[in-house]
């Protein structure tokens, strides 16, 4: 049974005339009559008294009309609510965020700035790597990108172009961490030695963070004897492997705070090994909506104060 059959029946109940009801429903009279017949067959009862002029409803038809009115009203109300929800969702500003920032920064930041209800996270972003975030901005797949930034990104020059604007939301640092040994010391400690390199759970080279670590070591003239075991795009994956004792790794400080507090992870090196980062929010200058420009102006005011 289809909802339009119920609407057909209500039109016939109002007009008491097959031709007029068919016109109201924008179908031919034979088609309309066939649908009413199918409705009666589905209900197993005669709903229309065709022997009267004008037509009338049978006692079963009167009861069925009440049902039709309730069902069609509920369907109409539901459609309106769904349309309103879809309109609200389409009006939200799409954000692409790295998984680490989404887990440990995005929610608190969006809530504290009072813009959480105006944003919608693009879950496809959890599979993006490095420059793909800017490509998503260019293609319109998202309106904003929330990411780590530093001076050693191999494609940092792209952001210097006139196509983008950004805000620095916070400072962050990558901290080298390891599980502890039986004496409470890091099991894997920097800098390691040529004969005993430190096993490293590394970041993917196309991502935001591996180049930051390598650039920092060069600038600070720190010599680390490292044995990379694998590469990961997500900080959470690196943290999981580090906590299982496979090696040391650099993690954003926000991800290490609870682990350090409860003793599951400790520093694998002093603060000279900490890698400074920025957390940036990026958009294209040619904003696709006035809502985005309004929100950006609000954020500019927040971070200018």
The answer, as to whether pTM is greater than 0.85, is: no
Span 95-102, average pLDDT:
91
Q: What is the predicted pLDDT for the residue at 278?
A: 96
The topology under which CATH files domain 93-298 is D-Maltodextrin-Binding Protein; domain 2 (3.40.190)
Q: How confident is the model at residue 175 (pLDDT cuts 50, 70, 90)?
A: very high
* Class at the top of the CATH hierarchy for domain 3-90: mainly alpha
Ranges of each domain in the chain: 3-90, 93-298
Q: Does 210 have pLDDT greater than 60? A: yes
Residues 6+ apart with CB under 8 A from 199: 188, 226, 227, 229, 246, 247, 248
Percent of the chain scoring above 70 in pLDDT:
94
Average pLDDT across the chain, whole number: 89
Residue 251 has φ and ψ, to the nearest 5°, of -130, 150
Kindly report, residue by residue over 147-172, the tens digit of the pLDDT. 999 989 888 787 766 789 999 999 99
Span 243-254, average pLDDT:
94
User: How far from 76 is each of 4, 8, 14, 27, 82, CA to CA, in Å?
Assistant: 12, 15, 18, 21, 10
């Amino acid at each position: 049974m289809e909802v339009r059959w119920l609407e057909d029946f209500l039109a016939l109940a109002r007009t008491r005339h097959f031709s007029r009801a068919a016109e109201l429903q924008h179908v031919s009279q034979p088609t309309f009559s066939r649908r009413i017949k199918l409705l009666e067959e589905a209900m197993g009862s005669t709903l229309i008294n065709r022997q009267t002029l004008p037509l009338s409803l049978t006692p079963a038809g009167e009861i069925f009309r009440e049902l039709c009115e309730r069902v069609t009203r509920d369907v109409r109300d539901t459609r309106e609510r769904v349309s309103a929800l879809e309109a609200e969702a389409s009006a939200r500003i799409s954000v692409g965020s790295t998984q680490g920032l989404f887990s440990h920064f995005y929610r608190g930041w969006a809530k504290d700035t009072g813009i959480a209800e105006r944003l919608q996270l693009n879950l496809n972003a959890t599979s993006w790597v490095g420059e793909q975030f800017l490509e998503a901005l260019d293609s319109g797949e998202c309106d904003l990108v929330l990411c780590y930034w530093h001076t050693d990104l191999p494609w940092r020059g792209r952001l210097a172009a006139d196509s983008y604007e950004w805000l620095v939301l916070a400072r962050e640092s990558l901290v080298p961490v390891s599980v502890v040994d039986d004496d409470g010391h890091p099991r894997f400690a920097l800098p390691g030695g040529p004969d005993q390199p430190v096993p490293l759970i590394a970041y993917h080279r196309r991502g935001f963070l591996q180049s930051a670590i390598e650039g920092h070591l060069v600038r600070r003239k720190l010599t680390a004897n490292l044995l990379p075991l694998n590469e990961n795009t997500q900080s959470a994956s690196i943290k999981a492997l580090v906590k299982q004792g496979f090696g040391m790794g650099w993690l954003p400080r926000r991800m290490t705070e609870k682990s350090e507090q409860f003793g599951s992870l400790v520093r694998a090196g002093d603060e000279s090994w900490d890698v400074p980062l920025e957390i940036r929010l990026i958009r294209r200058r040619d904003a696709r909506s006035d809502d985005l420009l309004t929100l950006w102006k609000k954020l500019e005011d927040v971070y200018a104060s």
